[in-house]
Amino acid sequence: MSLRMPRFSRWLFLITLLALIPRLIFLFTRGSFWFDELFTLELAKLPFLEAVRLASQDTNPPLWTIIMWPWVHLLPHAEWMVRLPALALGVAAVPLVGLLGKKLANPAAGLIAALLVAASPTIIYFSTEARMYALFVFLTLLTCYFLITERRRAYYASLFLLLGAHLYAVIPAFAFYLWGSLTIKKEKRWRWHCTHFVLIAIWGLWFAWSFLPKVGDIATNSWFVHTEPRRGWPFSIASALTMVAGTMPMYVYWLTLATMIGFVAYAIYHSIHTKQIALLLPITILGIGFIVALLVGPPKIKYFLFLLPVIAVLLGAIQTRWRSAMAGFLIVIALVSTAQLTRTFRFSWDRGAAFAAEQKDAAILIPWTVNALPFRHYYRGSATPLVIPAPGTTDTSIITLLAHNWRWELSPDYLQEQLAVLVPSAGSLLVVQSDPYVIGVREWLEEHGWVFAQAQTFDPMDSVQAERYTK
């Protein structure tokens, strides 16, 4: 009996090993935690039942907190260690998308899809972030694979987990339901409908528990509905598979985006024209995802990250002599963008906090409440930072941040009122900010006699900035 792996399996194994290399490099070079990651870490430090209860009131279901809870309680809290679960899920998505592409189309489609996901700088980025996005992508692919291979019990279990991973998991879940409703035999549809009704009802109970208390904030004072989309949204979702904004020249960006949109459109047309029923599944996921991205938002790629491997599968499934050239071009673009991202990107709250600790004569002001969390995590100085709390709150504890996580936008009147209370009358002042930056702080300070002295940044992307003023 031969022990050699089939040719497809050997190539898929090699691609998976190659996918591990840039993810490991980025794991150790991306720098400090940022707010969202520390939000996860601080929640997971709490007693289990309290952590699950509080996570259930967040904008996403609590599955990621449940996964991270034993990890955080058993292992050290170094950045690379806390990010390892996401890395494992990100790497596991590579062979999974390869198997899915093979099942939906052919082995070549699976290998092309796996290569695109392995080299994707956007997927690499979120595969090294201690949040639920890698889990969301992995469970979307796993659920899709169980559905297409007709493993019903495994599919239902995976769908249940998927709905617990992210708010927008309802998008692929709805696509799975529609596709199954059209393809499953009539005698089995009753169970299909009932099971999905129960699972969506459970998700709906969580949604009501989490979102109904903050409907007013979402409508009137929320970054969720006020975020401005970037150029080309939602079509720019496609380009995110092969590049991260700012890592490539604009003409390369538009050329790549046009190439991907053209080939995806052709893949959709060809699949429908030739009646490839299996490929209607990723087409349905992509279609519903784009509609939600266009009409609901927010226009942030992380909420629609699950669409990237779906696009990779469709690109791999193209039946044209140009497929190899197209795949080669996109993979080269992805590798260059990944190299640029690895070279330039770093979160620098650790360096910013260390710099602040050296300014022993300066008061420290943090204008945006959520930035107090990463600053305090790394700060080792003796001064107590002055923090502008979210409107309607008086402290910046993790529980308060969770309860008011929609109230992050500061009106000009509220900002000026808080600055008048917090800013000292004289001396030195260090203003520490990170994206998104609060506009209007420097103007208020200069109007009240403060003189800008210097600005300090700590990495090529200026992820954290410190401005010093004197009076």
- Whether 306 has a pLDDT exceeding 80, the answer reads yes
pLDDT of residue 460 exceeding 80? yes
Model confidence band, residue 445 (pLDDT cutoffs 50, 70, 90) = very high
Amino acid at 154: A
The whole-angstrom separation of Cα 298 and Cα 321 is 37
Q: What is the pLDDT of residue 1?
A: 37
Counts for the chain of helices (H) and strands (E), in that order: 24, 5
pLDDT score recorded for residue 403 = 62
Confidence check: pLDDT of 336 > 90? yes
What is the mean pLDDT of the segment spanning 450-455?
92
- Cβ-in-10-Å burial (0-12, 13-18, 19+) of 199 comes to middle
Which pair of structure tokens corresponds to residue 227?
């975020």
Name every residue whose Cβ is closer than 8 Å to that of residue 101 and which is 6 or more positions away in sequence: 109, 110, 111, 112, 113, 114, 312, 313, 316, 317
| Amino acid type, 283 | I
d(C-alpha 466, C-alpha 431), whole Å: 6
Band of pLDDT at residue 162, cut at 50, 70 and 90: very high
Task: Please tell me the predicted confidence (pLDDT) of residue 388.
Answer: 87
Q: What confidence category does residue 220 fall into, taking pLDDT thresholds of 50, 70 and 90?
A: low
With 70 as the cut, is the pLDDT of residue 147 above it?
A: yes
Lowest mean pLDDT among 311-315, 318-322, 357-361, 379-383: 318-322
- For 391-404, write each residue's pLDDT tens digit: 777 777 777 776 66
pLDDT at residue number 119: 96
pLDDT at 151 over 90: yes
Task: Identify the pLDDT of residue 356.
Answer: 94
Distances (CA, A) of 295 to 8, 229, 393: 40, 11, 31
Q: What is the arithmetic mean of pLDDT over 221-242?
A: 78
Confidence of residue 218 (pLDDT cuts 50, 70, 90): low
Region 71-91 average pLDDT? 96
The residues that bridge with 470 in the sheet, in sequence order, are 428, 451
Confidence of residue 24 (pLDDT cuts 50, 70, 90): very high
State how far the Cα of 280 lies from the Cα of 104, in Å rounded to an integer.
9
Compute the average pLDDT of residues 21-37: 93
Smallest CA-to-CA distance from 63 within 92, 43, 81 is with: 43
Asked whether the beta carbons of 99 and 110 are under 8 A apart, the reply is: yes
pLDDT band at residue 114 using 50, 70 and 90 as cut-offs: very high
pTM for the model: 0.93
| pLDDT confidence band for 2 (50 / 70 / 90) | very low
Report pLDDT digits (tens) over 349-375: 999 999 999 998 899 999 888 888 899
What are the start-end ranges of the E strands in 367-421?
Answer: 386-387
> In angstroms, what CA-CA distances link 343 with 26, 103, 173, 243, 337?
9, 36, 37, 14, 10
Identify the three-state secondary structure at position 389.
coil
Residue 409 is predicted with a pLDDT of: 66
Q: Compute CA distances 417 → 18, 337, 388, 413, whole Å.
A: 54, 43, 10, 6
Angstrom distances, CA of residue 72 to CA of 42, 65, 79 = 9, 10, 11
The residue-averaged pLDDT of 157-186 equals 94
Q: Do 236 and 303 meet the contact criterion of CB atoms below 8 Å apart?
A: no
Q: Which ranges in 277-348 belong to alpha helices (H)?
A: 280-295, 307-316, 323-344
Per-residue 3-state assignment (H helix, E strand, C coil) for 115-157: HHHHHCHHHHHHCCCCCCHHHHHHHHHHHHHHHHCCCHHHHHH
pLDDT for the residue numbered 185? 84
Q: What pLDDT is stored for residue 321 in this prediction? A: 75
CB 54 within 8 A of CB 122: no
**Contact (CB, 8 A) for 330 and 259:** yes
Calculate the average pLDDT of the chain.
Answer: 89
Question: What tokens appear for 62 in the block?
Answer: 């609590």
For residue 221, pLDDT over 80 is answered with no
In the structure, what pLDDT confidence band is assigned to residue 204 with cuts at 50, 70 and 90? very high
pLDDT over 90 percentage in the chain: 61
